Structure 1
Amino acid sequence: MPAPTSSPSRPAPRPGLIRARWQAWWMARQPAADTHELTQRNVYIVPSRAGLAFGLTLLVLLVATINEQISLGYALTFLLAGAVLASMHTTHANLRGLRMDLRPPEAVHAGDEVALHIHLHNSGAARYGIGFQADTAAPPTWVNVPDKGHAELTLRLPMRTRGLQALPRLVITTRFPLGVFRAWSYWRLAAKVWVYPRAEVPTPPFPPQPEAGEGQAEASSPRRRGTDFAGVRSYRPGDSPRQVLWRKSVALMDQGQAPWVRETEAPLAQELHFELAQTPGADLEAKLSRLTAWVLAAERAQQPYGLGLGASHIEPSLGATHQRACLERLAGWQA
């Protein structure tokens, strides 16, 4: 008679898997948003270490009072216990009902700190000792919110890697008024921040540019008003009075004609083209750092510049929008 085969036992779930499932369930209860309101459902409270020690002291005091039958001991014990229970309610209410808005963060360079500007709205009594911190070991930043008023808080977080980065989860905590209880809530931020490559310092010279013919330069670079003398012409509406040649225009003005105006123009700016192949070395981060420095320097010098990364090209231009497009392309580039 064949021996009965035992079914293989199901392996016990690993601690890491249990923690991952717990975190997934926890995150599902906290949708990401840039506006967060603290309610009865998302504010949690537990005794602090000082509260546990205080509770143990009350227990010892109660046992001693029962053993010695001291009436004043009963009064002191229950008075302190009532104060602790009232403190629990006050600590929880210090967070409950508070509403917070996050201002969209501005882009930073790798290695810098991003500033999170948080606006707090309070529709009830004044709130004290409210701390904000990223979900890390960094110490919290504390703020008080006035009665039926508002408060501003700036939280700075270091950003070490380039790219479009998600912001860490924030922890809002308080121990007001006695410190025997700790109430807290989590805030998952929906906003993301662009972290540009860190610019090389000092800025290296621009790479050699291909020579362009005179006709091509005239066609690609528009003339603009500057300080170089280009001739004399008649006055046009909108011309600055500083450009009018008053001494030479007296006779013309007596005859009812328009005065003469000094015509000026800025020198033609050479268009710069920045390519990944123009950067030396094999380190991709160093190459992107040099390209970032060139982009910032060209924008400061008001020289039109373009960017080429592999098959991707951005045509030469100037302005904040063009600079942001180039820096975002550099931040998100993957070889």
Structure 2
Amino acid sequence: MKTMNKITRRSFLKAALGAAAVSAFSLTGCGGSASSAAAGTASSAAASSAAASAEAGQTFKVGIVNYVDHASLNQIVASVESRLDEMGKGKGVTFDYADYYANAQADQTNLNQIGADLVADDVDVIVAVATPTAATMLAAVEDTDIPVVYSAVTDPSAAGFDGEENITGTSDALNTDAIMNLILAVNPDIDTIGLLYDLSQDASTQAIADAKAFCDSKGIKYVEKNGTTTAEVQMAAEALIAAGVKAVFTPTDNTVMTAELSIYETFLDAGVQHYTGADSFALNGAFVGYGVDYVQLGEATADMVVELLCEGKTTADLPYQTFDNGIATINTETCKALGLDLDTVKKAFEPYCTEVVEVTTQENF
């Protein structure tokens, strides 16, 4: 997996995904300019009329902005790019994202510059991956008609996006109770659960509040530890071990996800089970990931882009989407290292999820 320079615009990770199933879109040319089609104040009828008059062979400039280089968000970017490629091929148009990709490396200054650059480039749409990215891109496109399609925004309403003009997208909102029930399924007598997250991550706020409420309702104590960097997350993990917890919950937290490869062996050595809010954590060594399939999330995000640019839709026509896949992903290597029987764990999980997926630890995927 390539690491992007701070404001480098290059496509990456195409090889990470095979072709996904093609949606049932029309195989005709896309609509007129995306700016006119996506303006929040433009009527759908006018946009549709523009779409009908367009010809195949059109090229659309698609800005894709990643918040930071880590497994979950990279999965989304790769999935968006793959989906746009297949949809463009089917429709006879080109979605040019390779020239308009940027990774902010979790730096707000970078985000601000990227947003300004994409507006100056007059892109047709901006795909914003993660909540800080979406907020910055929305501010950047103010006074323009460039639509923003976000992905992996955990709570669009709390972020202030729900009801805003010119923005829509896909949410990776987490069913926290479901994950907490998985912890109890394997550890029915547990009396203390660790909570590991970054206080500054909006994606963690509601999930951690829900986890605390769950523990309170069950009479379970919890220990909170936080970190804003990989080094701090490592220290927080060690502090949870020192506190004697046997299970730790982390939501869809970008900071902890970035640090997962650095902490999973620490948890393994201490016999601590790490339950997390995405399958990508499990792919990076965590015991269990539960929730949204980020490949599916990226595909749905790309589909919204196509609807805006090619189907004459506006952001007002496309309410944000949420997903609850009910999929538990178990790292089988981690499960074995923890001294747990995989079949027993899978059976315990059955009442609380629709599917159990087995993976092994991978640095890149």
TM-score (ref. length: structure 2)? 0.18
Between Structure 1 and Structure 2, the one with more strand by share is 1
TM norm structure 1:
0.19
Query: Which has a greater percent of helix?
Result: 2
Higher RCO (CA-CA < 8 Å; seq separation 6+) = 2
Give 1 or 2 for the bigger CA radius of gyration. Answer: 1
